[in-house]
Chains A and B, each alone.
Chain A
Amino acid sequence: MAHQSSYVPKTGFTRWLDQRLPIIRLVNDSFVTYPTPRNLNFWYVFGGILTVMLVVQIVSGIVLSMHYVPNADLAFGSVEQRIMREVNYGWLLRYIHANGASMFFLAVYVHIFRGLYYGSYKAPREILWILGVFIYLLMMATAFFGYVLPWGQMSFWGATVITSLFSAIDQVIPNLGTAITHWLWGDFAVGDATLNRFFSLHYLLPFVIAGVVGLHIWALHVPGNNNPLGIDVKGPQDTVPFHPFYTVKDGFYMVLFFLVFLGFVFYAPNFFGNPDNYIQANPLVTPTDIVPEWYLLPFYAMLRAIPSKLIGVLVLVSSLLTLLAVPWLDTSKVRSCRFRPLMKQLFWIFVADCILLGYVGAQTADAAWHVGEAELPLVWLARLGTLYYFGFFWVLMPWIGKKEVTRPLPESIAQSVLAKGGH
């Protein structure tokens, strides 16, 4: 822990326990007395929300697995017939789990963009950021495996397209890519063997995520939270104890978040879903338009923007790996975009770019915008978007960081907060 432990066991039992397994001390130091910058705003509540969403997904997933059958002939029926119609509250559990995944990603995207905006990846928090990227990648893998399990048409063809990304290796080392896909499938095509192993991995990965989340929180508590000003905590006047200040703030927004989440569960449970997934998997017929879940759309758009298979796959992979390099790509001495007028604009363009890529990813491969007589194929929009995505990280971030004239930083968190409080 970065701060001095202030825990004093009060009873005979807790004194006895504290000398053998100081677990109450750990919880106390991490979530009660943990000194937190006093100026954390709304955008800092999503870390707590994400932790709770992980628990929601694990608990709902464990009970769903008590009724689900990972078999190519039975899986679809075990979801649509048994869980949705026969199991008590099965429909609720399934909708919680399916919409929970979307809410999980919604929260993680806010969390990531918040980190980008306030420069939370900058020293001394590089490892914290990198662990976060690992969690994000693990989340995508888990969500992908989970989406395959209901064994609908989108499940099946999504699995086919994503695993076939590995066949691009054929263009570097002939036949190796195909051998890898057969190894992943356990067959010559996605089938029963694939479904079985995806179920196994879907059950495993959330616990791996939980482990990395533990490391993520550990890496957070060593330097302590960054904050909207992006300046270091200088003393006790800059902080408040985590409890009750942020337990209440996180809790309050968690309730609001759950209102939105449960709004989808009860009133629009299929909002994020694709109707094609209510058709059982058919290995002989591909749906007319394959669309991944919304949270993968920007990357899907980048994959489709490139007319070459190998380069398309490389672009997709590097768009994710780029995130690992961010702490070193940003050369600015100032963390928060509040004091970086230029970076702030580039950041919001980047957010818009991700939304644009997401939009294009949801359209058909040959879609176009018609402006009067002119026709703008969306693939060109995706290419522009891809260019900005990489340009933002690899060109603008290192360059602007050196050129930009930043605004003066406040003396301290306390001074800034008190000045705003008005006198």
Chain B
Amino acid sequence: MANASTEPTRRDFLYIATGAAATVGVGLAAWPFIDQMNPTSAVLAMASIEVDVAAIQPGQQVIFKWRGHPLFVRRRTPKEIAAARAVPPSDLPDGLARNANLSDSAPATDANRSIKPEWLVVVGVCTHLGCTPTVSTPQSPQGSYGGWLCHCHGSEYDTAGRIRKGPAPQNLAVPPYAFTGPTKIKIG
């Protein structure tokens, strides 16, 4: 060009403006396409349940369904509670209580794992890869810690639902819950 200049031209402006609009537009448009995969409002609305645990006998576990997951409610015998309390904290692979009702840094003592020691309420999802662990009873022991054994990959939990052996990294999660009556629990 004869009158070449270093001044920006109208073409430069159009080029940058179009590019910027396209980049921002694609970026904004991407979010709805990503976020549509998250749980819907209907799924979020069904996030809490209330159960009556009066019929559960000592030493027995009943499984409820909460947020699509199994929820273990175990009525622990005094022996099981004593066994859980006797564990030195240094023996625990995961030192945190993982109790949604307490602060994130609460230590994994047995007292921090339940609201009433007799009733252990935990999400029945192995923290390794999500299988449902099998409950251990004196008649049918599962693993060596009296709690649960996950058959998928061999994780063993104790009577407070704490991981003791195997690939699972964390204790079974304690969901947010509260007693609404002597034997009525609201979860979520």
* Chain A residues within 8 Å of B, Cβ to Cβ: 157, 160-161, 163-165, 167, 170-171, 182-191, 193, 197, 283-286, 288-290, 304, 306-310, 312, 364-366
B69 at the interface (CB under 8 A from A): yes
Contact: A310 with B169, CB < 8 Å? Answer: yes
> Which listed residue (A157, A283, A284, A309) contacts B168, Cβ 8 A?
A309
> Which listed residue (B39, B63, B129) contacts A186, Cβ 8 A?
B39
In the assembly, what is the distance between CA of A187 and CA of B47, in Å?
Answer: 10
B184 at the interface (CB under 8 A from A): no
With contacts A160-B130, A184-B37, A289-B151 taken as known, whether A307 is within 8 angstroms of B67 at the C-beta atoms is no
Determine the chain A residues whose CB is within 8 A of the CB of B130 once the complex forms: 160-161, 163-164, 167
Determine the chain B residues whose CB is within 8 A of the CB of A193 once the complex forms: 39-40, 43
Determine the chain B residues whose CB is within 8 A of the CB of A312 once the complex forms: 167
B70 at the interface (CB under 8 A from A): yes
Nearest-neighbour CB distance to chain B for A72, whole angstroms, equals: 10
Determine the chain B residues whose CB is within 8 A of the CB of A165 once the complex forms: 129
Determine the chain A residues whose CB is within 8 A of the CB of B47 once the complex forms: 188
Q: Which residue of A lies closest to B131 (CB)?
A: A286
Q: Which residue of B lies closest to A300 (CB)?
A: B153
Determine the chain B residues whose CB is within 8 A of the CB of A286 once the complex forms: 131-132, 150-152
Q: Which of B119-154 contact A (CB under 8 A)?
A: 124-125, 127-132, 134, 150-154
Query: What is the 8 Å Cβ interface bit string for chain B, positions 37-53, against chain A (1 contact, 0 not)?
Result: 11110010001000000
In the assembly, what is the distance between CA of A186 and CA of B166, in Å?
Answer: 29
In the assembly, what is the distance between CA of A184 and CA of B34, in Å?
Answer: 10
B68 at the interface (CB under 8 A from A): yes
Contact: A188 with B68, CB < 8 Å? Answer: yes
In the assembly, what is the distance between CA of A157 and CA of B65, in Å?
Answer: 16
Contact: B37 with A183, CB < 8 Å? Answer: yes
A-B pairs, top 9 by smallest CB distance, nearest first, are: A189-B68, A188-B67, A164-B130, A365-B154, A286-B132, A164-B129, A286-B131, A160-B130, A161-B129
Nearest-neighbour CB distance to chain B for A357, whole angstroms, equals: 16
Q: Which residue of A lies closest to B63 (CB)?
A: A284
> Which listed residue (A167, A290, A309) contacts B152, Cβ 8 A?
A290
